[in-house]
Amino acid sequence: MEQPPIAETPNPCLTCGACCAFFRCSFYWRETEEGGGTVPDQLTENLTEHRKVMRGTDARNPRCIALIGDIGDRVYCAIYDRRSTTCRVFIPSWEKGEPNPDCDRARAAHGLPPLTPSDWESPTESPDSTSTTPPDTVLPAA
C-alpha cells in the first residue's frame, strides 16, 4: 500500500490498504535497522534465522502494524519511506499498465473490486494538463 507525497494523479492505494492486511510481509533481516537498513526493529519479528516479518502480518488474520487507517476508506503506511523492498516492489493493478492478480486477490478478500485503468486517471484534468506521472507504489507478499 502506498502513501505517496503529493500526487496529481489519484492513488487508489490510499483508499485501499488490502494487501497490507492480507499477505505476510517478510524480508531479509538486513533490511531492518539492526541490520543496517531502514525498517524499524520494533515493528518486526523474527521469521527464520535470516528473515524478518512485519508484526501483525504473520497471523491468521494479518494486518501490518504499520498500516494506519481503515481498509477500503483512508489508509497510509506509517513507515512509507522506510518500508522493506517487499513492500516497494508490489505493484498495484494497472499502475504500470497491467493487472496484478495478487492486488486483485487482496482487494477481493476485503470486499473491494479489482482496480481498473480508470482508477489511475484524474477525473478532473484541465484541458491543457499534460501530467501523466503515476505515483510509485508498494506492498507485501512473502
Residues that bind ligand SF4 (CB under 6 A): 1, 12-13, 16-20, 25, 54, 64, 66-67, 77, 79, 83, 87, 90, 92, 103, 106-107, 115, 138-140
| Closer residue to ligand SF4 (CB): 36 or 101 | 101
Rounded to a whole number of angstroms, the minimum distance from the CB of residue 131 to ligand SF4 is 20
CB of 54 to ligand SF4, least distance (A): 5
Nearer to ligand SF4, 47 or 139 (CB): 139
Count Cβ atoms below 10 Å from residue 62 Cβ, excluding itself: 20
CB within 8 A of 114, min separation 6: which ones?
93, 99, 103, 104, 107, 108
| Amino acid at residue number 132 | T
Which residues on neighbouring strands pair with residue 69, listed in sequence order?
75
Question: Taking the complex as a whole, how short is the minimal distance between the CB of residue 72 and ligand SF4, in angstroms?
Answer: 9
Least Å distance between CB 117 and ligand SF4?
13
- Strand-pair partners of 68: 76
Instruction: Please say which residue, 20 or 47, places its beta carbon nearer to ligand SF4.
Output: 20
CB of residue 93 to ligand SF4, shortest distance in Å:
6
Q: Output the CA–CA distances (angstroms, integers) from residue 50 to 17, 26, 32, 35, 45, in the order listed.
A: 27, 10, 11, 10, 11
Amino acid at 126: S
Q: Is 68 helix (H, G, I), strand (E, B) or coil?
A: strand
Pick between residue 21 and residue 123 the one whose CB is nearest to ligand SF4.
21
Strands 44-46 and 26-28: unpaired
Q: Output 8 or 129, the one with its CB closest to ligand SF4.
A: 8
